[in-house]
Amino acid sequence: MASYDTNFLFDERGNLSMELFSKRAQDVLWGIHAWLCEQRRRMFLPLDLLIVLVDRGFVPLARAVAEGTEGAVLPGDVLPRLRALAEEIEEEASEEEPVFSRSYFSRGFTRILAEAGEQARARSEDLIREEDLARSIIWRAEAVESAS
| pLDDT tens-digit map of 96-123 | 899 999 999 999 999 999 999 999 999 8
* pLDDT of 127 over the 50 cut: yes
Taking alpha carbons only, the member of 59, 86, 52 closest to residue 74 is 59
Tell me, what's the pLDDT at 148?
42
Which residue stretches of 40-129 are H helix? 46-55, 59-67, 75-87, 107-122
Tell me, what's the pLDDT at 121?
92
pTM (two decimals): 0.86
